[in-house]
Amino acid sequence: MRLSKHEQAVILTNVHKYIAADAQVWLFGSRCDDDKAGGDIDLYIESDQISKPLESRIYLKIALQDELGYQKFDLVYHDRSLELQPIHQIAKAEGIELV
């Protein structure tokens, strides 16, 4: 995984602040592969309830860029009360959960 412990902590702290305290986060995509270089940071975020997803996405991206510098963050949300879509299944199955 090409995220430092510090980056992981910043991501989790801000997801819990802006999305939901119970949210779980997975890194997926090219950043999971240590042999690749570059790439955006793809995050799959799952919670029991995600209120105001558009507003929370904006606040989260701003907070992450303030603390980690300008990087491209792709955020995929899943409210557990809704059915899993294929992108959710792939991100969760192939991703690495941040803890």
pTM above 0.85, yes or no: yes
Indicate if the pLDDT at residue 14 is higher than 90.
yes
Closest residue by Cα to residue 11 from 25, 1, 30, 22? 25
The answer to whether residue 92 is domain-embedded is no
CA dihedral in degrees (81, 96, 10, 19; nearest 10)? -10
Tens digits of residue pLDDT in 16-53: 999 999 999 999 998 888 778 778 999 999 999 887 88
The bridge status of strand 96-98 relative to strand 73-79 is: unpaired
The answer to whether residue 28 is domain-embedded is yes
Range of the domain at 41: 5-80
Indicate if the pLDDT at residue 78 is higher than 90.
yes
CATH of the domain at 36: 3.30.460.10
Q: How confident is the model at residue 92 (pLDDT cuts 50, 70, 90)?
A: very high
pLDDT for 74 equals 93
Counted domains in the chain: 1
pLDDT for 22 equals 95
pLDDT for 39 equals 80
The answer to whether residue 46 is domain-embedded is yes
Q: What is the SS3 assignment for 74? A: strand
